[in-house]
A and B are shown apart, each in its own frame.
Chain A
Amino acid sequence: MAESSADETGGENIPRFEPNYLNSQVIHVESFRKLWLDALPPDLYSYETNPEEVEDAKLAELLELPIETLNELKDICSVNSLRSHPDDSPVDQNVVPSDPKLACLRLRKRRQDYRETLVRDTIGRHENYSNELESAHKGLLPEDPTSVIPEGEIILSFNIIYPVIFDRFKHVRAHQTLQVLGSQKLTELRDAICCVGDLQVFGEFSNIPDATPQYISKDHFKSAFFYFEGVFYNDMRYPECRDISETIREWAKTHGFPEYKTAKMEDTTFYELRMKIGYPYYYCHQGDCEHVMVLTDIRLIHPDDCRDRTLYPLLTHKHRVITRKCCVCHLYISRWITTNDRLAPMDPCLFCDKCFRMFHYDAKGNKLYDFQAYVYVDPGVFN
Chain B
Amino acid sequence: MFQMHKFEEPLKTDLEELLGRFQRTNSVRYEDFSSIWRDMHFDEIFYGTKNQLEQSEFSRMALSAATPYFLPPYSFQIRVGGLYMLYALYHTQRSFPPRRIRMALKDWGDVQAFTQDALNSQHHDVLYILHQLLTIKAFRFTAMQVPLTFSRDQKPVIPEAEVVAEQSSRPKKLVTTEMLEEMANIHEHYKQLKTSVSAKHPEASLNLVRQNLVPKLFNAVVDFSTWQNSQMAGDKDGQPASYEEEPSTSSSLNQQMESSKRAELLASIKSRSYGQVVEVTKSRRHRQGEVCGDTTAGPCEDPGPQLDPARVSLLRRRRRQLNSLKCRTLSCLNETGKQTFLHTFYTVLCLGV
Contact = CB atoms under 8 A, between A and B. Distances in A.
B289 to A, nearest CB: 33
Contact of A97 (B6, B41, B148): B41
Nearest to B9: A103
A104 B7 contact: yes
A63 B124 contact: yes
B68 to A, nearest CB: 13
Contacts, number: 214
Interface stretch (A261-269, A276-284, A319-327): A276-284
The 7 A-B residue pairs with the shortest CB-CB distance, nearest first, are A278-B148, A21-B156, A96-B48, A103-B10, A124-B1, A299-B142, A81-B34
Contacts of B129: 77
A36 B111 CA distance: 13
B323 interface: no
B135 A36 contact: no
A51 to B, nearest CB: 10
A21 B310 CA distance: 10
Contact of A302 (B6, B30, B137): B137
B157 to A, nearest CB: 6
Contacts of B45: 102, 104-105
Given A84-B42, A278-B148, A63 B127 contact: yes
Nearest to B10: A103
Contacts of A117: none
Range for the number of chain A residues in contact with chain B = 35 or more
Contact of A79 (B11, B44, B91, B150): B91
Contacts of A119: none
Given A36-B105, A297-B147, 9 more contacts: A32-B105, A55-B135, A74-B128, A81-B31, A81-B34, A84-B41, A102-B40, A138-B97, A157-B147
26 contacts: A17-B144, A20-B310, A21-B156, A21-B157, A21-B158, A21-B311, A22-B148, A35-B105, A39-B105, A39-B109, A44-B137, A59-B131, A81-B34, A84-B44, A97-B48, A102-B42, A103-B9, A103-B10, A103-B14, A104-B11, A124-B53, A128-B52, A131-B52, A277-B148, A297-B147, A299-B102
A32 B53 CA distance: 31
A97 B40 CA distance: 13
Contacts of B149: 159, 278, 294, 296
Contacts of A79: 91-92
Interface string A340-360: 000000000000000000000
A135 B128 contact: no
B144 A278 contact: yes
B317 interface: no
A123 B10 contact: no
B331 interface: no
B218 interface: no
Contacts of A70: 128
Interface string B146-160: 011111101011100
Most A CB contacts (10 A, CB to CB) among B30, B44, B52, B105 go to B105
Interface stretch (A106-114, A207-215, A365-373): A106-114
A22 B122 CA distance: 39
Interface residues of B, number: 76
Contact of A76 (B11, B30, B308): B30
Interface string A134-149: 0100100000000000
Contacts of A304: 97, 100
A95 B48 contact: yes
A157 B140 CA distance: 14
Nearest to B52: A131
B85 to A, nearest CB: 11
A244 B152 CA distance: 29
Contacts of A157: 147
A297 B144 contact: yes
Nearest to B111: A39
B50 A127 contact: no
A277 B143 contact: yes
A300 B14 contact: no
B94 interface: yes
Given A107-B10, A300-B140, A304-B100, A84 B38 contact: yes
B27 interface: no
A247 interface: no
A24 B47 contact: no
A298 B157 contact: no
B141 interface: yes
A17 B154 CA distance: 14
A155 B226 CA distance: 49
A163 interface: no
B41 A102 contact: yes
Interface string A30-46: 00100110011001110
B106 interface: yes
A247 to B, nearest CB: 26
Given A45-B141, A294-B149, A82 B2 contact: no
Contacts of B104: 15
A76 B31 contact: yes
B13 interface: yes
B51 interface: yes
Given A82-B88, A159-B149, A300 B141 contact: yes
Contacts of B140: 299-300, 302
Given A15-B105, A73-B128, A102-B14, A84 B97 contact: no
Nearest to B30: A77
A183 interface: no
Contacts of A104: 7, 10-11, 14, 45
